[in-house]
Amino acid sequence: MPAHLAGEELRDGDVIVAVKNDCDGCETLLDSDLPSLTKRRVFFVARDALLGHDEVVVDPTFLDAADVKWPPFVIVVGGEPLEVVNECVPFGPQHLIETLGL
């Protein structure tokens, strides 16, 4: 599991949301105010650039290392060394929060 994303060191409890183009579920997550809803740091990551979403980090290497294959997919990292401590396929922001207990 990579320890850094977008030039920042990942911390216990960080939420990584894998997204892609042409994905209604991804758009729903991107358009939500997920960081304020979860009270955690949230990183949106994709394999390719997403038009109109500058907040999305393009990092296919990170997604491969985290074993994320099919967006939308969410992982929560924690522990030492850093690892995936929780994950889900989200069906919207509220489902994600309830499923992962964020």
Provide the CATH number for the domain around residue 84.
3.40.30.10
Residue 77's domain spans which residues? 4-100
Render pLDDT for 26-59 as a digit per residue (tens, 0 to 9).
999 999 888 888 889 999 999 999 878 889 999 9
Looking at residue 9, what is its pLDDT? Answer: 95
The total of structural domains in the chain comes to 1
Looking at residue 97, what is its pLDDT? Answer: 87
Is the model's pLDDT at 18 over the cut of 90? yes
Is the model's pLDDT at 5 over the cut of 90? yes
Looking at residue 96, what is its pLDDT? Answer: 87
Mean pLDDT estimate for the chain: 91
Long-range contacts of 46-53 (CB under 8 A, 24+ apart): 46/18, 46/19, 46/20, 46/21, 46/71, 47/20, 48/20, 48/21, 50/19, 50/20, 50/21, 50/26, 51/21, 53/19
Looking at residue 65, what is its pLDDT? Answer: 93
User: At which residue do the structure tokens 């740091």 appear?
Assistant: 41
Q: Which two tokens stand for residue 70?
A: 């099919």
